[in-house]
Structure 1
């Protein structure tokens, strides 16, 4: 069975490579805008499944992993900043506050869907403009939800964080992914038969 990661994210690809499985990446083309009244958690949940289903429609018979992350501050969804100015505004807003990063994952073969969501609670330090500028110039995290690249210098933005899965904040909760893959008969700890 072909394993496909429904993502164009280099961060998710690098995370999945840790499992030493053979897989392909295909980018799903879906509208990521929230629906009216949709919570950040529900948005992440819907997009993870939507990405998996979109790629599966193009590659029937594959096992597809879809994932999405939505940052939320004070109940409001925060997306990828896209620009330096937007990232600066996000980090000013996050200064001294708790931000929730909802990372949802869905694994499907078309017959079954397994899905989970891991919330990472991040308390940001009180940040001054010089710190924010240094971080943004160093990391340029414009393609990262909430501008927080925790796998790099972004960890220095945090006072503390709490999560059931340390990889969730980077974009793909590998503990959940491993559990789901095993349910489909693909165990990263089992050697694959030689050809």
Structure 2
């Protein structure tokens, strides 16, 4: 039986893991600076943050698997983080309106022997054109808070999505296909 530490404070990631029967032994949010570096692409940012989160936690949990992840919503080369207020959330959603954007999900797993595997999963999402009433209705809920790109695809924002290409669970917060494969590939086994 393997012990798993989830280096994330995201309740969505816990829910997603539970969907595939994985329950972390402990949740230990990593305290790192998430500020993008100069000229860092959204894809590279997602990968770096996932790796830094895993490294920040692993030394305190010898003999355990550590799983970390980060989600970056990108419109072109611009990374849209978590909106700080409704005004910024409105700007993000207006930018995504009627356009294709990419969701980069960085995943990093460190095995008990120190082996580290990481990758980025990319999902393309196309929003329909959003009117002022769409934005007002969405922003009247607090769902946008704490979400990359200021939206949650699994909630009210699902009505904005015209199409999606790639992993749906990646947009929610964690590509389950990839995580399962990475954990099993490194020898993770959880008791039933």
TM-score by length of 2: 0.93
Structural mapping, 1:129-148, within 5 Å: 129-148=132-151
Q: For each residue in 1:98-154, what CA deviation from the matched residue of structure 2 results, as whole angstroms up to 9, or x when unmatched?
A: 111100101112521111211111111111111111112135311100012101111
Corresponding residue for residue 22 of structure 2:
21
Which of 69, 89, 92 aligns to 2:91? It is 89
Structure 2 unaligned blocks of 5 or more: none
Q: CA RMSD in A?
A: 1.5
* 1:34 positional shift: 0.8
Indicate conservation of the 8 Å contact 2:17/2:23, yes or no: no
1:150 lines up with 2:164 in the alignment:
no
Corresponding residue for residue 123 of structure 1:
126
Higher relative contact order (CA 8 A, sep 6+): 2
Structure 1 unaligned blocks of 5 or more: none
1:77 lines up with 2:64 in the alignment:
no
1:7 lines up with 2:5 in the alignment:
no
Indicate conservation of the 8 Å contact 2:105/2:174, yes or no: yes
Deviates more, 1:177-186 or 1:34-43: 177-186
Indicate conservation of the 8 Å contact 1:6/1:25, yes or no: yes
Q: SS at the partner of 1:17?
A: helix
Which of 28, 38, 63 aligns to 2:65? It is 63
For 1:148 and 1:53, locate their aligned partners in 2 and report how far apart those are by CA, in whole Å: 28
Indicate conservation of the 8 Å contact 1:84/1:140, yes or no: no
Indicate conservation of the 8 Å contact 2:65/2:109, yes or no: yes
Deviates more, 1:102-111 or 1:72-81: 102-111
Runs (4 or more) in structure 1 with deviation over 6 Å come to none
For 2:91 and 2:39, locate their aligned partners in 1 and report how far apart those are by CA, in whole Å: 24
Which of 166, 172, 183 aligns to 1:170? It is 172
For 2:110 and 2:156, locate their aligned partners in 1 and report how far apart those are by CA, in whole Å: 34
TM-score by length of 1: 0.91
